[in-house]
Structure 1
Amino acid sequence: MVKIAVAAPGQVAREITEVLVATGKHEVITLARRDLVPEEIVEGTTPLKVDFHNKDDLAKALRGVHTVLSFVVAQNDPEATAQKTLIDASIAAGVKRFAPSEWFVARFTHLKWNDSKLLARDYLEEVNKNGKVLEYCLFQPGLFTDYHANENINKHLKTNDFLPIDFANRRLLAPGSLEPRFTATTIQDVGNIVAKAIEYEGEWPKIGGIAGETLSLAQELAIGEKIRGKKFDVELLDLDSLRRGEWNGSWVKPLDHPSVQHLDEETRAAFSRAAFSGFLLALAEGDMVVSDEWNRIFPDYKFTGVEEFVSNFWVGRP
């Protein structure tokens, strides 16, 4: 049994925390910049209000903690100040393991709102350059398979319309061709792997890919048409236009992520088009595929595939 600190407990964090608590093996505290309302508190955890810019405050909260899992929202921490302070406080408190706020893919060439993740990576490299001071792992599961549903099916994670395939309306947007590939992993599988990683006695890999399934848009389309029973409308978008910042698709899903909900409708629509363009360009350049370090460490773990998930959700629905 170890003590775990979950920093900035948003949707993804709470789903993973539920899994950790369910093991019954660990003490879990959550660190937030404000007092959490009851529905934000995972039963079985201890919430603490902290200042993420105050190293001493954080170090005090982290006394006795073995592992820190950070979920600081990149857009809210553009200079990675909160994450760097959390890293410094973890070292000061004697924390053994640290997971920075990754939980996505490895490269952000076209996903600039994630650039602060790169700053946190660089800082971890810097503090360990003369020898390991803090063991860490970049947990990278790709996209959440759960986004294939068109309604909220999880306790905390909300449906995010960040997929170029629309199962409800039987349509697909593709960057130039159907060849680009991406990795998708269910949030339950991510939580299970993190729980196993907590108990793993070996050293954590610095890059921690969690690959539920990696498939092409062509395979994704075949699954959609098989399960939904009809042909999908497919649009192959011009990559040069996307690179010039020109949206040339006939539709785009408005983003519903908490980080953009405060924006007015026009600004949110513009951001959605820009984000979707960036996502498609990342797809085209292979940036949405992650590695499989944790799959190889736990070879007997069975992941939920995309077709299995889609079938379980969509079969029988209009």
Structure 2
Amino acid sequence: MSTAASTTSAGHSVAEPLTIALAGATGDLGHRIGLALLDRGARLRALVRPASAAKPEITALRERGAAIVEVDFNNAAALARAFAGADCVVSALSGLRDVIVDAQTQLLNAAVAAGVPRFIPSDYSIDYTKLPEGSNRNLDLRREFGRRLDQASIQATSVLNGMFTDLLTGQAPVILFKIKRVLYWGSADQPLDFTTIADTAAFTAAAALDPTTPRYLRVAGEVATVRDLQAAAAATTGQRFGRLRAGGLWLLKLMSRIARRLAPAPKEVFPPWQGMQYLHNMFTGLPKFSSLDNDRYPDLKWTTVREVLATRK
């Protein structure tokens, strides 16, 4: 348990749990971060818009002892009051510019106004700091907010986790279970970073309670190539899997551009072309983590690709 020291009237030092303010607790990742913080003994203050207060995720956190604060993000004074006394603000918001840039800026300004010492933004991705501008819309938004965060008078830490391993069970078109192939572009030997949602949440909770975190923390539950994914799929299904090279990286990039032109879906957070951009980024190797911070919190256990695939029904 991470604590802050206070002093009684008799002069004795008393350890107090740290207070973490969490935005985005109704989402899968945010809810898991909230539960992990409670497991670590934190005082959790979950910020929710009034319309979200009755959601089951919030009810579950309330029943675990979290303080639920209904607040209008557009009310700067109310937001600052909601952050008063917090040791860290954690954002797990998901969305486009109105969320990643605008709403998080509201959180950031309120945190600074309230004197909160630390801020963890909603990054949770591959290493976008190594990617060129324009290569990924969603990551460009994170980069834009990051510039604002770096200019603020607050200590910032971004948690980068690669791709969520959970997506390999079907949502990410990489392991094609029906035809028993692993789809890829470029090289089958390119190392890729994967971390489960649960492991990302657990690490983020530990980082939120750690006042010594650097600007970036990078973790991967497993670093795997396409050949490794092929072996994992075969081992968990008991069936032979092959590889399907769809072409070079130039083709995947072209496909994403065509898909965006034909079906732009500008209000969708993850339209098909966005997933193509993400895969292209990963297969280029540019955002591959050069080092990992997995050992920073020794109590954490990391989930492998095989363990995730074994849960697929």
Counterpart of 1:39 (choices 30, 52, 56) is: 56
- Equivalent residue of 1:6, what SS? strand
Q: Which runs of 5+ in 1 are unaligned?
A: 128-132, 151-160, 249-258, 262-267
Aligned twin of 1:298: 297
Quick check: 1:118 aligned with 2:143? yes
| Bigger shift: residues 229-238 or 13-22 | 229-238
* Aligned partner of residue 82 in structure 1, secondary structure: helix
AA matched with 1:119: E
Q: Which of residues 242, 245, 251 is equivalent to 2:252? A: 242
Q: Equivalents in 1 of 2:197, 2:306: separation in Å?
A: 16
Structure 1 CA distance, aligned partners of 2:300 and 2:97?
Answer: 34
Q: CA separation in 2, counterparts of 1:246 and 1:114?
A: 15
Partner of 1:281: 280
Q: Matched residues in 2 for 1:290 and 1:230: separation?
A: 31
- The whole-number CA distance in structure 2 between the counterparts of 1:27 and 1:143 is 29
Instruction: Classify 1:302/1:216 alpha carbon distance in 2 versus 1 (closer, same or farther; 3 Å).
Output: same
Which residue of structure 2 aligns with residue 21 of structure 1?
A: 38
Report deviation, 1:102: 0.7
What displacement does 1:121 show?
Answer: 0.7
8 Å CA contact 1:186, 1:212 repeated in 2: yes
Q: CA deviation at 1:214?
A: 1.0
Distance 1:112 1:147 in 2: 19
Q: Distance in 2 between matches of 1:69 and 1:200?
A: 12
In structure 2, the CA distance between the partners of 1:72 and 1:309, relative to structure 1 (3 Å rule), is closer
1:78–1:116 contact (8 Å) kept in structure 2: no
Q: CA deviation at 1:302?
A: 3.5
Unmatched runs of 5 consecutive residues or more in structure 2: 1-16, 259-266
Superposition pairs for residues 78-93 of structure 1, below 5 Å? 80-93=101-114
- Retained in 1: the 8 A contact 2:193–2:223? yes
Q: Using a 3 Å threshold, how does the CA distance of structure 1 residues 212 and 246 change in structure 2: closer, same or farther? A: closer
Q: TM-score, normalised by structure 1?
A: 0.78
The residue aligned with 1:221 is 230
For 1:304-315, list aligned pairs within 5 A: 304-311=303-310, 313=311
RMSD between aligned residues: 2.7
* Corresponding position of 1:144: 164
Matching residue of 2:241: 232
Give 3-state SS (helix, strand or coil) of 1:14's partner: helix
Distance 2:285 2:185 in 1: 11
In structure 1, the residue corresponding to 2:96 is in which secondary structure? helix
Distance 1:199 1:49 in 2: 23
Contact 1:208 1:292 in 2 (8 A): no
Distance 1:223 1:208, change over 3 A: same
Going from structure 1 to structure 2, the CA distance change for 1:231 and 1:218 (only over 3 Å counts) comes to same
SS in 1 for 2:293: helix
Structure 2 vs 1, CA of residues 96 and 163 (structure 1 numbering), >3 Å: closer, same or farther? farther
Paired letter, 2:33:
I
The separation in 1 between residues aligned to 2:299 and 2:156, in whole angstroms, is: 23
2:227 match: secondary structure = helix
The correspondence of residues 48-87 of structure 1 with structure 2, limited to 5 A, is: 48-75=69-96, 77=98, 80-87=101-108
TM-score (normalizing by structure 2): 0.79
Aligned-residue offset at 1:307: 2.3
* Equivalent pair of 1:6/1:30 in contact (CA under 8 Å): yes
Question: SS at 2:106's partner residue?
Answer: helix
